[in-house]
Amino acid sequence: MSFYLLDAIDRIGPGDEASGHVRLPLDGIPMPACLIVEAVGQLAGWIGLIATDFVSRPVAATVQRVRLHEDATAGSTLTLEARVRALRSNAISWEGRALLDGRPLLTLQRCTGPLLPAAELEDPKDLQRRFERLREQSDSSAYPTDIDGIAVTERLRTTDEGGRVLELLLPEAHPLYAAHFPRRPVFPASLLLEAQLRTARDLAGPDFLLLGLDGIKVRSFSVPGDRVELAVSKIDEGRDKLTCNLVCDTSDGRRISEARALFERRPGP
């Protein structure tokens, strides 16, 4: 599998904006929300790479707000848009969205992250070649269809307070590390967050619909071989709304990420 989620960059410029797209296969699974967020972030990352002449690579650290408006469907083509609000020597901030047939599918607000030396993560010449391919508008589809089962589920347990903790063992070796990142392999935080969202949906129950995420913070990299604990707990439950706290730590206590998942009761018939 690949973890390059863009099929093409359709437009970039006049310096702070870009648009692209990703095609979802007819016989694959719909693209999960956290991977759509990842794809928009990758598009914003190309803006930063171009602006720094492939010297610095943006890495997502915080996303203040994600709102889900509609689900992606198999066989559809998603249009992605990103706009950089500020680019400094050591940090970037951006916003973006994904659209389906012109309708907002997902929106991201107040995203920020550091700029890391690109050469520490992968070969800058490989980055330039990939950018050229993305601008050539090829017919290939990059979206991976085999994202489930990448990490080994060691245990799912219920806490005394009624929350859930999913314990995962991240693979020592996997093809996705060739894209994330070849010189410094990192297990994608977006895949960990998606696993937490599945657990949160189960905890919320079928009567509640996921509206979005607030306060996503990626505090450190998760590396091959890490054992991680994905904790999900209810922190604010009302008749029609529910908020779940999402925390990811390594087994030795290092904080990987945190976020809040927002749910609303589904409309009645």
30 in any annotated domain: yes
pLDDT confidence bin for 140, thresholds 50/70/90: low
pLDDT confidence bin for 127, thresholds 50/70/90: very high
Amino acid identity of residue 68, one-letter, is L
The two structure tokens encoding residue 51: 């602006």
Same domain, 50 and 112: yes
| Last-in-domain residue among 108, 135, 162 | 135
29 or 74: which leads in pLDDT: 74
pLDDT at 175 > cutoff 70:
yes
pLDDT at 144 > cutoff 80:
no
141 in any annotated domain: no
- What mean pLDDT comes out for the span 145-160? 78
d(CA 11, CA 136): 11
pLDDT at 147 > cutoff 70:
no
- What mean pLDDT comes out for the span 173-190? 91
Same domain, 131 and 162: no
| Last-in-domain residue among 109, 135, 161 | 135
- What mean pLDDT comes out for the span 234-245? 92
Tell me, what's the pLDDT at 104?
95
Quickly tell me which residue has 């990490």 as its tokens.
151
The residues near 178 (Cβ < 8 Å, ≥ 6 apart) are 2
Same domain, 178 and 97: no
210 in any annotated domain: yes
Same domain, 66 and 129: yes
Burial level of 233, CB count in 10 A (0-12/13-18/19+)? Answer: middle
Domain of 183, CATH number, reads 3.10.129.10
pLDDT at 23 > cutoff 80:
yes
- Angle, helix 189-204 to helix 33-51, in steps of 10 degrees: 150
Same domain, 123 and 213: no
- Angle, helix 33-51 to helix 124-135, in steps of 10 degrees: 110
Same domain, 124 and 172: no
pLDDT at 145 > cutoff 60:
no
Per-residue b/e over 144-174, b at no fewer than 16 CB within 10 Å?
beebeebbeeeeeeeeeeebbbbbbebbeeb
Share of the chain above pLDDT 70, in %: 94
Same domain, 156 and 131: no
2 in any annotated domain: no
Same domain, 110 and 157: no
| Last-in-domain residue among 110, 135, 160 | 135
146 or 136: which leads in pLDDT: 136
Same domain, 118 and 196: no
Least confident stretch, 26-35, 56-65, 180-189, 250-259? 26-35
The pTM is what?
0.94
3 in any annotated domain: no
Write the DSSP assignment of 123-190 as a string of letters: -HHHHHHHHHHHHTT-S-----S--TTSSEEEEEEE-TTS-EEEEEE--SS-GGGGTS-TTS--B-HH
pLDDT at 204 > cutoff 70:
yes
Burial level of 131, CB count in 10 A (0-12/13-18/19+)? Answer: middle
Please tell me the total count of domains within the chain.
2
Least confident stretch, 12-16, 98-102, 258-262? 12-16
142 in any annotated domain: no
215: left (phi over 0), alpha (psi -120 to 50) or beta: left
Domain that holds residue 171: 152-265
87 or 15: which leads in pLDDT: 87
Tell me, what's the pLDDT at 75?
86
